[in-house]
Structure 1
Amino acid sequence: MTVIWTGGRLVAPHEGALSAVDHGLTVGDGVFETLAVFGGKPFAMTRHLRRLARSAAGLGLDAPDEGLILEGVKTVLAEAGPTAGRLRITVTAGIGPLGSGREPGPQTVVVAAGPTVISPTGRAARSPWSRNERSAVAGLKTTSYAENVVALADAVAKGGDEAVLANTRGELCEGTGSNVFLERGGELVTPPLSSGCLAGITRELLLEWAAEEGLPVRQAAADELPFTVLDEVTAGSARLLLTGSVRNVQPVTWLDGVDIEAGEVSLAARELFERVCRERLDP
């Protein structure tokens, strides 16, 4: 069951609750966050709200109203009860013209909660499309998500559940809804933010918690991870790992039709995250 709150009230999934000319609908002028929910509590809420504000600033939007958002979060989680595993917060520019320009007015805030299943492993396919690391919205979590929809559909058609993208420089970048890590040489390495990837909350926490535990996980140096490094994964000399708010830390066991083993450091990273995330709900 999906529980939705907007305009200060709960609404049914098929109820018309937004304007047909909301700028988030007409041109994708909005930002969002997806959070895991553990035991009825949102995970890493402070970090997600901080990133939501960064994304809004990157689009030139006013800072979202945290008080209003938290009211919506409290309401939907109370209504959803133990079925909630996933929380989504969406903020748009509000009612606007049919074109790209904005009109002054209140933002639209939508909060929704629903069930989810976090799989311990993932299946990935290389995408034929690339991420533009020089885009005006590179690194922002916006509702302009059509590129990700197309890339993910392509991966699913190939037998995967996530697409992995290069950037325009031919570097390993990210998934459509995840960050990527390569395990090789006894360590996990993730592309730098300069690659154009999203500053993922799970990515960030894994880097921090691994440092605390002495697990070899780090951010890559510039030019360290070309997209062709994935050939090492299918050849069996490297391993691949995905991180995300509804994936947590997920070793990949299938890439482009090739079954691969989860790496030793990847499995240790998954165990670390699963343990600590339930001890620190708002790290």
Structure 2
Amino acid sequence: MSTHLLTWLNGQLLPTNQACIPVNDHGLLYGDGVFEGIRFYRRRAFRLQRHLQRLALSARVIALEIPYSTEELEAVIERLIEAFADDYGYIRLMVTRGAGPLGLNPKSCSQPNVIAIADQLTMIELGQQVGARLIVSSVRRLPADGLDPRIKSLNYLNHILAKIEANHAGADEAILLNAQGRVAEGTADNVFIVRDGCLLTPPCSEGALEGITRELVLQLARDNGIETREQSLGVYDLYAADECFLTGTGAEMIPVASIDCRSMPGCPGPVFGQLQQAFRRAIDQECGGII
């Protein structure tokens, strides 16, 4: 079986347009479930163990039992990649609460649905070539005492509203601030800036997801002698940055050309260029080559 849109659903490998779940699945009704996005290069999943570990933690925190072991999920991902038409792609792995009666109570949802979709994903068209145009959204990131950002929940409405605002402004992406007005993250990516050669990013306590690509970029920066700090950032820091870029499994690494129509002095800047090369080497070492 070989197609550009392929789905593994509860043990079956299907063309995506044939994969179905019940309309009373609480993942659909209430966003009750968790997910991971996984890139693969040359038919090898990148950082798969870290993604499956984070999925397991998200599920545990929302009291959702995944009906497959980590080893079984690894085999699912490998099977899906093997059947996919291209050597490179993106997998969305989801675990929903499953079908149940109307109403928020998950008690009667006895069987979670496990879904893995293989497809292509480009977060920002032309972003890698010319840099992304960003706005600072008026939509605030949900506070951690309401919904901890470490949970990769199926409910992304907060971020979707910020993305809609970016669309209306003619921008590629939006940055969300937290309730205190400090930088949290993008709609589907982590935010980095460079000031005087130092790499800065908000700590996850400010509302950012504990991004796996974020984690890798911080480590690569330290390995390459770049000073790094996790510190609170305001809008001023964004505007005054020498460089800015976004990271994420879907985004990979995208340089930022402007924020609220204020041009970045470097796009792509030298620190971004150095880290992008290191990032590509990391993929090459783990997956045997990149595009």
TM-score normalised according to structure 2 size = 0.87
Q: What displacement does 1:64 show? A: 5.6
Counterpart residue number, 1:53:
56
Paired residue for 1:20, among 19, 23, 47? 23
- The residue correspondences of 1:166-177 to structure 2 (distance < 5 A) are 166-177=177-188
State the identity as a percent: 31
Paired residue for 2:189, among 178, 188, 191? 178
| C-alpha distance in structure 1 between counterparts of 2:238 and 2:259, whole Å | 9
Query: One-letter code of the match for 1:70?
Result: E
Q: Which moved more, 1:73-82 or 1:18-27?
A: 73-82
Partner SS state of residue 85, structure 2: helix
Partner SS state of residue 17, structure 2: coil
Paired residue for 1:230, among 238, 243, 251? 238
1:257 aligns with 2:261: yes
Counterpart residue number, 1:29:
32
Q: Please say if residues 42 and 87 of structure 2, whose CA atoms lie closer than 8 Å, have aligned partners that are also in contact.
A: no
Q: What displacement does 1:109 show? A: 0.4
Counterpart residue number, 2:5:
2
| C-alpha distance in structure 1 between counterparts of 2:52 and 2:202, whole Å | 23
| C-alpha distance in structure 2 between counterparts of 1:137 and 1:17, whole Å | 30
Partner SS state of residue 73, structure 1: helix
Counterpart residue number, 2:115:
110
Partner SS state of residue 110, structure 2: coil
Q: Please say if residues 251 and 267 of structure 1, whose CA atoms lie closer than 8 Å, have aligned partners that are also in contact.
A: no
Q: Which moved more, 1:62-71 or 1:6-15?
A: 62-71
1:123 aligns with 2:109: no
| Residue deviations 1:70-106 (CA, integer Å, cap 9, x gap) | 3431232122132541111001111222111112522
| Residue deviations 1:225-249 (CA, integer Å, cap 9, x gap) | 123322324xxxx321110112222
Q: Please say if residues 35 and 92 of structure 2, whose CA atoms lie closer than 8 Å, have aligned partners that are also in contact.
A: yes
Q: Please say if residues 183 and 240 of structure 1, whose CA atoms lie closer than 8 Å, have aligned partners that are also in contact.
A: yes
Counterpart residue number, 1:190:
201
Partner SS state of residue 233, structure 2: coil
Partner SS state of residue 246, structure 1: coil
1:89 aligns with 2:78: no
Q: What displacement does 1:62 show? A: 2.1
| C-alpha distance in structure 1 between counterparts of 2:37 and 2:199, whole Å | 24
Partner SS state of residue 128, structure 1: strand
Q: Please say if residues 239 and 262 of structure 2, whose CA atoms lie closer than 8 Å, have aligned partners that are also in contact.
A: no
Paired residue for 1:274, among 250, 257, 280? 280
Query: One-letter code of the match for 1:4?
Result: T
| Residue deviations 1:44-81 (CA, integer Å, cap 9, x gap) | 00000011111112212225622442343123212213
Query: One-letter code of the match for 1:252?
Result: V
Q: Please say if residues 41 and 87 of structure 2, whose CA atoms lie closer than 8 Å, have aligned partners that are also in contact.
A: no
| C-alpha distance in structure 1 between counterparts of 2:71 and 2:101, whole Å | 27
Q: What displacement does 1:37 show? A: 1.2
Q: Please say if residues 97 and 111 of structure 2, whose CA atoms lie closer than 8 Å, have aligned partners that are also in contact.
A: yes
Counterpart residue number, 1:139:
150
Partner SS state of residue 151, structure 2: coil
Q: What displacement does 1:107 show? A: 1.4
| C-alpha distance in structure 1 between counterparts of 2:14 and 2:20, whole Å | 7
Paired residue for 1:203, among 207, 211, 214? 214
Q: Please say if residues 36 and 93 of structure 2, whose CA atoms lie closer than 8 Å, have aligned partners that are also in contact.
A: yes
Aligned residues: 275
Partner SS state of residue 81, structure 1: coil
Q: What displacement does 1:20 show? A: 0.9
Partner SS state of residue 275, structure 1: helix
Unaligned runs of 5+ in 1: none
TM-score normalised according to structure 1 size = 0.90
Partner SS state of residue 202, structure 1: helix
Q: What displacement does 1:10 show? A: 2.1
| Residue deviations 1:164-191 (CA, integer Å, cap 9, x gap) | 0100011111011000011112111110
Q: Please say if residues 37 and 90 of structure 2, whose CA atoms lie closer than 8 Å, have aligned partners that are also in contact.
A: yes
